[in-house]
Amino acid sequence: MGFCKFSMFSFLCLVIVLFGVHGEENAHVLLMNDRASLLSFMKGVVSDPGGVFENWKNSSDFHICNWSGVKCNSASERVTELILNATFLRGTISPALANLSSLTVLDLSGNFFHGHIPKELGSLSHLRQLSLSWNLLEGKIPYELGFLQNIIYLDLGSNRLDGEIPESIFCNGSFSLEYIDLSNNSLSSQIPLNNECVLTKLRFLLLWSNKIVGRVPRALSNSTHLEWLDLASNMLSGELPSEIVGEMPRLQILALSYNDFVSHDGNTNLEPFFSSLANSSDLQELELAGNNLGGELPYIIGDLSTNLVQLHLDENLIYGSIPPHISNLVNLNLLNLSSNLINGSIPQKLCRMGMLERVYLSNNSLSGEIPSALGDILHLGLLDLSRNNLSGSIPDSFANLPQLRRLLLYGNQLSGTIPPSLGKCVNLEILDLSHNKISGVIPSEVAGLRSLKLYLNLSSNHLYGHLPLELSKMDMVLAIDLSSNNVSGTIPPQLKSCIALENLNLSHNSLEGTLPFSVGQLPYLRELDLSSNQLIGEIPQSLQVSPTLKHLNLSFNKFSGNVSNKGAFASITMDSFLGNYGLCGSIKGMPKCRKRHSHHLLILSILLSLFATATPIFCIFGYRLVLRSKIRRRQLAVFNGGEDLKDEEQDQRKELNYPRVSYRQLLEATGGFSASSLIGSGQFGHVYKGVLQDNTRIAVKVLDAKSSAGEISRSFKRECQVLKRTRHRNLIRIITICSRPEFKALVLPLMANGSLERHLYPSHGLRNGLDLVQLVSICSDVAEGVAYLHHHSPVKVIHCDLKPSNILLDDDMTALVTDFGISRLVKGSDNQSVSAMDTMTFSSKEGLLCGSVGYIAPEYGLGKRASTEGDVYSFGVLLLEIVTGRRPTDLLIHEASSLHELVKSHYPYKLEPIVEEALDRCSPSAMPTHYSKIWRDVILEMIELGLMCTQYSPSTRPSMLDVAHEMGRLKEYLSNPPSVQLVEEATSKVKASN
């Protein structure tokens, strides 16, 4: 009996031991399986520009939990999270990821994965978060994804997915989903939700910009926790879903714009829908634009949540008057009722909505006077009342609007005079009062509005009197249109001060006298219309030699004299000169002049010759300056006996006080400065990547010993001085230097995301991986960094070579300005250089100018010394380059001489192709209409800012502080509009509950 007891005990011990051994072996097998799955996934990635997989490839052990993007369970060491979002990976998603059986989070969003979504992912039974948005994935959504019983967060938005939405996504039996984003794809069919599928926990449903048809399913009313419902830009139909949204008291964003919805009672009654939102006390944004909704705006619209900040009802068939009760929405900052059939007057009570920033009431049938109370809305920045039947005078109270930037009142029946008080709107950029019945003279206060940056349009009114001389103060305006009035007198020669002017239209007036020679000297004038006036005399030769003039109309005046078909007139036809019976010349259809030796032709020939040779003269002038500078440097070097060069290394080490890194260490770190380590080249040397013994990843900028020793020394010393004296989050920091007589190098931190240039112009035909939000953020960072150099640095610094290759991006895509090799350290307000030898540097091999070709300010070509305005010009070129997607050196001769000229030729009425291309390039797929409006606004403002920064005259360019402020505003607006900010907060909450 005792023996039996002993034997049984021994047997149980043996079983326990065997199970323990088997358990350890099984755990090891599972870990090996996880490792194999990750390695298989890595093989499907064909491009890893950020070096994400470096420690995957170099790992010699099985500690996969230390790999980038991988998180494990602390006890079992099984992989639980794989997060590789926004790492610019390119390739396909391997089905092997389905073998990570303990995975709870899979986030591959913001990359360039293509191909299909592996159906095998549906077997990840523990998965709670799946994020594959903002990729290039195509095909259908696998039905198997509906088998994810524990999924809480599903984001497949912004891909190229098509076909039907699998019913299993909405009806998977678990009802655990809180966040569904399938937006910005090409999904069709209806929303597959029925009464058997109750998504009681659903808080976010984003299906915008697809091809979804049918009605909003009634079963959605069971999702009473919904906070964001975005079905905009689809093909949904039927009545507005009043009964459904009425069951969603937590709604914050409701977007139904650009569908085929109608209102109740045969598209005549909006009241039931607005009544259904009465209990949505958290509602912040309501979008119903572009649905052809009929009916009047009900009184109860004012009973919506006082948290409402945006109301989009534009492009519908809404009629009747605007209910004064709408003024109860006291926190509204955007009201858009444009393009409807609204009549009646503008309610006085709108002034109670003190937070309004943008008001669109255009293209309606509003009548009566413009309420002076609108002048009490102090935050108002845009007011568009155009194309209505408004009458009366323009209120003086608009002068009280300190933020007013755009005032559009054209296409009404306004009378009276232009209030001089509008001259107090110091931030006004656009003023359009055209096509009204306004009379009187043009007030000098308004004519002198220097803030106007875009256009002044007073055409088609009853204005009279002389052109005010104050118009010459508008040195930033791009277009002036005073046509179809009764303006008389002469054209003032002082208009030549409007140096940014591209379009001048003074046609159909009573102007007389001669056309000033100075008008043809406007440096950017492209269109000039002076037709139907009483102008006399000869046509100024300055128009013919204008390098920019493309469209000219001088018809029906009293011009006389000879007209040649040379220069700018080579492409202009007889239609530009009709009704001027005193003209003769070589234009086809124009009477021939009598044969006589005309000194005018000789003068014209000389002028054209001088113009054609202007550029070589500037180059010769610049070259002579270079020679003079070189001679001066040599004299100084001889005089100083070479002491500056002799003490340089000691001075640098003493001043910088950074850790020592030997030449041998740099050799080891970069593999002997091998070609495989080379990541960039510049005028003064090469840049190599490397890893120090302490695993610090570095970039080594080695100055080329083959170049002039003096230039190397000065460049090295200059860059060290700048990096030593400046400290800013958007400027590259220095780790240390290595300086020997025959070798000089700067050791900098390696930026994993490389330069901005690499992202703007990726190799092998790959598309730009940066979206508009990232690009604006990068430009804002650059502007902040350069503004610091210009205005806040202990010693003012002029960079002199701002361009995409000199902008680096760190791990979180923060931009850092680098390469100060030709920068200038200046003192005082007059940009006086610290060193006499540093007054100017000509460094472009092609142009012998300060900077790189395409980014060089035009005044540098005239021998002007480097200035902060030159950096502003380069930044402006950068903005235009980002918007157009073209290098400034890639323009064809027949297109334009610069990016500035190219964009200006389209501004302001022909920008649509540029904007569309920018939208396509800066987003993986087309944006939905209501979202793309925000992006379009930002792109247009980037264009405007770029044009301002690249104006010909340095004095008219904004300061870098102003530029940084504008870019910061765009960054905040684009990154955090109320709706976007809300979804980010909500997404964080959903993920936190995961």
Buried b (16+ CB within 10 A) or exposed e, 721-749: bbbeebebebbbebbbbbbeeeebbbbbb
807, β-bridge pairs? 817
Please tell me whether residue 796 adopts helix, strand or coil conformation. strand
Cβ neighbours of 945 (radius 10 Å): 23
Q: What is the dihedral of CA 69, 74, 79, 83, to 10 degrees?
A: -20
Cα Dmax for the chain: 143
Q: Where would I find the beta strands (DSSP E) of 22-178? A: 45-47, 70-72, 79-83, 90-92, 105-107, 112-115, 129-131, 136-139, 153-155, 160-164
CA distances from 151 to 122, 485, 749 (A): 10, 68, 40
* Residue 899 token pair: 């990016």
Buried b (16+ CB within 10 A) or exposed e, 961-974: bbbbbbbbebbeeb
Q: Counting Cβ atoms within 10 Å, is residue 433 exposed (0-12), middle (13-18) or buried (19+)?
A: buried
Q: Is there a catalytic annotation at residue 48? A: no
Sign of CA dihedral 487, 493, 499, 504: positive
Q: What are φ and ψ of residue 872, in 5° steps?
A: -60, -40
% helix / strand / coil in the chain, to the nearest 5? 35, 20, 45
Alpha carbons 795 and 258: distance in angstroms, whole number: 54
Alpha carbons 472 and 279: distance in angstroms, whole number: 57
Asked if 478 contacts 454 with a C-beta cutoff of 8 angstroms, the reply is yes
Q: What are φ and ψ of residue 294, in 5° steps?
A: -105, 170
Contact residues for 830 (Cβ-Cβ < 8 A; gap 6+): none
Alpha helices in 816-892 (DSSP H): 868-884
To which H or E segment does residue 951 belong? none
* Residue 118 token pair: 């592996």
Give the Cα-Cα-Cα angle 777, 783, 786 (nearest 5 degrees). 140
Q: Which of 529, 801, 819, 871 is an active site residue? A: 801
Give the Cα-Cα-Cα angle 913, 552, 877 (nearest 5 degrees). 40
C-alpha closest to that of 270 among 230, 198, 319: 319
Contact residues for 988 (Cβ-Cβ < 8 A; gap 6+): none
* Residue 237 token pair: 């139909």
Sign of CA dihedral 636, 639, 642, 644: negative
* Residue 809 token pair: 């991006």
* Residue 64 token pair: 């996969």
Alpha carbons 189 and 792: distance in angstroms, whole number: 58
Cβ neighbours of 444 (radius 10 Å): 14
Give the Cα-Cα-Cα angle 792, 793, 798 (nearest 5 degrees). 105
Contact residues for 67 (Cβ-Cβ < 8 A; gap 6+): 38, 55, 56, 59
**DSSP category for residue 624:** H
Asked if 769 contacts 759 with a C-beta cutoff of 8 angstroms, the reply is yes
Catalytic residue numbers read 801
